[in-house]
Amino acid sequence: MHVVVVGCGRVGSSLAALAAGEGHTVGVIDKRPSAFVRLPADFTGRAVTGFGFDRDRLLEAGVDEADALAAVTSGDNSNIVVARIARETFGIERVVARIYDPGRAAIYERLGIPTVASVAWTTDQALRKLLPAEIRTEWTDPSGKVCVVERALPLAWAGRPLGELDEPGRWRLSALTRASQAQVAAADLVGQEGDVLLFSAATTEVSALEERLAGGAETAGGSAPSKRRRG
């Protein structure tokens, strides 16, 4: 398929190189001619100098034949304008916009424009390392009603059937990662220490899901360890 990448910084040049490497045709747009030096020496795609919201530059990059477009410049406003032009003017279904402001990213997601919020992603990844026991939202649908959340398996659930976690209509265990290997959750799967669980859940039920996981300590007959006092 043909991919248009608007912005040839570190992200855009990497996207263009990867897409080309997988056999797709690629058109890259950047306002700075010097930006194209980031592309591989064997890059055979189109390199177009100009602004990504300029219709003529988009056409030069092949937007009228594109199956996908990524707007990944350093400006939120430019990326949203380009994404909307691609979606509304040229009818491209696969569109993603890079957004630095997490609040704005959430708004555009609800308008049907998939976004990648750099700050939010970096913050989330740091929190995963610092607070592994907390639930993380991986994905939320544009209506905000359904989400996918990740949670490390509490120790109290190790050795217990994970099917006991399911609450039909509220949340369901969809998949898990065990020893770096992902698998679809089976009904008879038993939890093991180190498992990372992935749930499909109603967004209004995420807090209840957290309580259900935390309650495993009581139902398993265990108790939470006391915190050691600092001297």
Q: Which residue has the tokens 């990648």?
A: 116
Question: Could you tell me which residues come within 8 angstroms of residue 36 by beta carbon, excluding any fewer than 6 positions away?
Answer: 8, 28, 30, 47
pLDDT in tens, 26-57: 999 999 999 999 999 999 899 999 999 999 99
- Name the percent of the chain lying above pLDDT 90: 42
pLDDT of 127 reads 53
pLDDT of 128 reads 57
pLDDT-wise least confident of 9-18, 168-177, 201-210, 219-228: 219-228
Question: Which strands sit side by side in the sheet containing 181-184, from one edge to the other?
Answer: 136-140, 146-152, 196-202, 171-178, 181-184
129-219 is classed CATH 3.30.70.1450? yes
The listed CATH number (3.40.50.360, 3.30.9.10, 3.50.50.60, 3.40.50.720) that belongs to domain 2-120: 3.40.50.720
Residue range 152-158: mean pLDDT, rounded: 89
Q: Which two tokens stand for residue 30?
A: 């950047």
Q: Which residue has the tokens 């691609």?
A: 86
* Cα 159 to the center of its chain, rounded Å: 31
Ordered by start, the domain boundaries in the chain are: 2-120, 129-219
pLDDT of 124 reads 57
CA separation for the pair 182, 196 (Å, rounded): 9
pLDDT of 141 reads 74
Q: Rounded to two decimals, what is the model's pTM?
A: 0.57
pLDDT of 134 reads 61
Q: Is 227 helix (H, G, I), strand (E, B) or coil?
A: coil
Beta carbons of 82 and 5 less than 8 angstroms apart: no
Question: Which strands sit side by side in the sheet containing 2-6, from one edge to the other?
Answer: 46-49, 25-30, 2-6, 68-71, 94-99, 115-117
Sign of CA dihedral 166, 169, 171, 176: positive
